[in-house]
């Protein structure tokens, strides 16, 4: 069984573009869970361009499934996560000015740093996951940090899949086999969508969770537009 955690960053992007509270992030998070999703993911960035730190504090009032907070463990992020105490924290080594996450951790170079950060979160009963590329030695390095899980960075898979190359899954299968061997739980995410998610799931042994945001929100617009346009036409009769 693979859990779906919906990343709601893009709902906050849309809300922030007008300065008001439409769409209402808490309402959307509540609906997503009512519709069956098993988790809510957010990735507050230091510039708060989408999720604000206050959103992270407000969401526990409605999130009754798994609450996953992703981000680079700079001091303000660590303080926030330790205050909010989500189900899971996913550590992502993204630069402050990155448009989106664009690489996994070098778990060998940053081992000592990761060991300390992970120990602090685990001491506070927060499950830990670290974002990694599908490279065997990075998975083995992840196991040395004490993390509970890894999140496989799926951008490369998604981009190969879009080109029609299903072999893009191969490094992920190898990485998953290593993770299984060293007893790390496996999550995955980034650019997963309605086209490529099933094939990924079918091929990755013991995939515990996927977090999906950008495509899922875009697909919700595509699939919901006809209904809403028809509803407006009714109003205008
Ligand atoms: C780690 C990861 O892949 C996601 O958190 C993704 O980076 C979403 O963040 P943005 O919505 O800011 O692109
Ligand atoms: N961890 C990945 C995530 O939360 C969503 O990534 P994306 O679907 O927005 O690319």
- Give mean pLDDT, residues 23-41: 98
Q: How far is CA 52 from CA 42, 44, 69, 77, 97, in A?
A: 10, 6, 12, 11, 16
Residue 133 has pLDDT above 90, yes or no: yes
| CA dist., res. 131 & res. 115, Å (int) | 14
48 is catalytic: no
Q: What pLDDT does residue 168 have?
A: 98
CATH 3.20.20.140 fits 3-235, yes or no: no
**Backbone dihedral angles phi then psi of residue 94, each to the nearest 5 degrees:** -90, 140
Residue 96 has pLDDT above 90, yes or no: no
Average model confidence (pLDDT) across the chain? 97
- Per-residue confidence band for 107, with pLDDT thresholds at 50, 70 and 90: very high
Atom of ligand 2 nearest to the CA of 214: 9
Residue 60 has pLDDT above 90, yes or no: yes
Write out pLDDT tens, residues 11-30.
999 999 999 999 999 999 99
Among candidate residues 66, 70, 151, 209, the one labeled active-site is: 70
- Per-residue confidence band for 162, with pLDDT thresholds at 50, 70 and 90: very high
Residue bearing the CA closest to ligand 1, atom 12: 100
27 is catalytic: no
Residue bearing the CA closest to ligand 1, atom 6: 101
| CA dist., res. 21 & res. 39, Å (int) | 22
Answer yes or no: is the C-beta of 70 below 6 A from any ligand 1 atom.
yes
Q: What pLDDT does residue 137 have?
A: 98
pTM: 0.97
């Amino acid at each position: 069984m693979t859990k779906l955690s919906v990343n709601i960053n893009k709902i906050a992007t849309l809300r922030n573009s007008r300065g008001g509270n439409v769409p209402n992030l808490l309402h959307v998070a509540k609906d997503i869970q009512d519709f069956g999703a098993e988790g809510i993911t957010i990735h507050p960035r230091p510039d708060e361009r989408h999720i604000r730190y206050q959103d992270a504090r407000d969401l526990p009032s409605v999130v009754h499934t798994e609450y996953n907070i992703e981000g680079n463990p700079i001091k303000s992020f660590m303080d926030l996560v330790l205050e909010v105490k989500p189900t899971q924290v996913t550590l992502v080594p993204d630069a402050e000015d990155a448009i989106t996450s664009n690489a996994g951790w070098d778990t060998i170079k940053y081992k000592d740093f990761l060991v300390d950060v992970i120990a602090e979160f685990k001491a506070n009963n927060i499950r830990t996951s670290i974002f990694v590329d599908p490279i065997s030695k990075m998975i083995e390095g992840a196991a040395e940090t004490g993390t509970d899980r890894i999140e496989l960075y799926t951008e490369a898979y998604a981009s190969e899949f879009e080109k029609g190359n299903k072999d893009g899954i191969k490094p992920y299968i190898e990485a998953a086999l290593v993770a299984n061997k060293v007893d790390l739980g496996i999550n995955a995410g980034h650019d997963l969508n309605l086209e490529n998610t099933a094939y990924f799931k079918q091929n990755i042994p013991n995939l515990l969770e996927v977090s999906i945001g950008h495509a899922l929100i875009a697909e919700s617009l595509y699939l919901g537009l006809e209904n809403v346009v028809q509803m407006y036409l009714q109003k205008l009769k």
